[in-house]
A and B are shown apart, each in its own frame.
Chain A
Amino acid sequence: MERKQIPVVERILSANDRVAADNRARLQGHGITTVNIMSSPGAGKTTLLLATIRALGGTCRIGVIEGDVASQVDADKIAQAGVPVVQINTGGGCHLDATMVQQALEALPLDEIQLLFIENVGNLICPAGFDLGQDYNVALLSVPEGHDKPYKYPGMFEFVDLVLATKTDLMPYMDFDLAEFRRLVQGLNPRAPVIPLSARTGEGMEAWLEWLRAAVKGK
């Protein structure tokens, strides 16, 4: 049997990227600003979203897509805050992909939403590889995780638009060097500002809300 080599050169995630482009067009068609939120498990994504909904809910119509390996717990909390929310359970998968978001969009009242948050599955590696159709990417890194994390997950920090150092109320108890953290993030990605905040005490929240307002207006 004759053997031959054929060149392919096709991006492995091309199928995902096509669906993501569809999502992006659809969201933009509805005038929605979409923010993809990523972090390790337990960095405080849901707490931050609840605080953000409380602070902005009166002036901006918010919607949420909740990604989780399993369970509906976070989505229930968001729903109680009075905003439309769809839960995606990945059934063990460690990130959301564009097709999951495409299905979630079917279940959201898109005409009633200005700002859509996608709370990605807790993981600092794979969410960076999968475009969902978002406008902005935000990474959370909580103070207890340590300031040296950017170099363990360069793919994540290198690609985001904003970095939030969360749980700053724990700073007095942790060996977290904020200046060093900023230096490492800036080295990977000078585009991304670093905002330290605590959703629990409200410290630094205003800077985050200001960034969001600009993101919504800037669309």
Chain B
Amino acid sequence: MHELPVTEGILRIAIEHAQKAGASRITDIHLVIGDLAGFVDDSIQFYFDILTPGTLAEGAKLHFHRVATRLRCWECGHEFSPQERDWTCPQCGATGGEVLAGKEFYVESIEIE
């Protein structure tokens, strides 16, 4: 459900930049989404299909570039990508770490005609 305002945000950003570039249409939108950002590709696609008809982005293809969670262990400094439900450091067995990657959520680029 929270993907609706988020998809509106994506569309607003894409259209602003397309207009600035004098585009007649947007063909592709590249998104970067971290695994910790809490947003589901299918839901964004669902709202995108509802919102885009009649806009510059009608028919545009969404590309989801997923970024895996990366942590730096609090104890030993080892960097690792945790399993979904287990944030145990594979080197020292401590739990968790500083989040280095996985919270990204932005429009990387658009392709226009």
Chain A contact residues, CB within 8 Å of chain B: 1-16, 92-95, 97, 125-126, 128-130, 148, 151-152, 154-155, 158, 183-184, 186-190
Instruction: Determine whether the beta carbon of A7 is less than 8 Å from that of B113.
Output: no
Closest-by-CB residue of B relative to A123 is B2
* Tally of contacts, chain A with chain B, CB under 8 A: 110
Residues in A with CB closer than 8 Å to B2 are 93-95, 125-126, 129-130
Instruction: Determine whether the beta carbon of A129 is less than 8 Å from that of B108.
Output: no
Instruction: Determine whether the beta carbon of A187 is less than 8 Å from that of B95.
Output: yes
Chain B contact residues, CB within 8 Å of chain A: 1-2, 4-6, 9-10, 12-14, 17-18, 21, 24, 27, 31, 36-39, 69, 74, 84-87, 94-97, 99, 103, 105-113
Known interface pairs A95-B2, A151-B85; A5-B110 also in contact (CB < 8 Å): yes
Closest-by-CB residue of B relative to A185 is B96
Instruction: Determine whether the beta carbon of B109 is less than 8 Å from that of A7.
Output: yes
CA distance A13 to B12 in the complex (A): 11
Residues in A with CB closer than 8 Å to B99 are 158
Closest-by-CB residue of A relative to B44 is A12
CA distance A110 to B111 in the complex (A): 46
The 21 sampled A-B contact pairs (Cβ below 8 Å) are: A1-B113, A3-B27, A5-B110, A6-B110, A7-B108, A8-B109, A12-B106, A14-B13, A93-B5, A126-B38, A129-B38, A129-B39, A130-B2, A151-B86, A154-B69, A154-B87, A155-B37, A187-B74, A187-B87, A187-B97, A188-B96
CA distance A12 to B106 in the complex (A): 5
Instruction: Determine whether the beta carbon of B96 is less than 8 Å from that of A128.
Output: no
Instruction: Determine whether the beta carbon of B24 is less than 8 Å from that of A1.
Output: yes
Instruction: Determine whether the beta carbon of B113 is less than 8 Å from that of A128.
Output: no
Closest-by-CB residue of B relative to A11 is B106
Min distance, Cβ B73 to any Cβ of chain A, angstroms: 10
CA distance A9 to B104 in the complex (A): 11
9 tightest Cβ-Cβ pairs between the two chains A and B: A187-B96, A187-B95, A126-B2, A1-B113, A8-B107, A151-B85, A12-B9, A94-B1, A11-B106
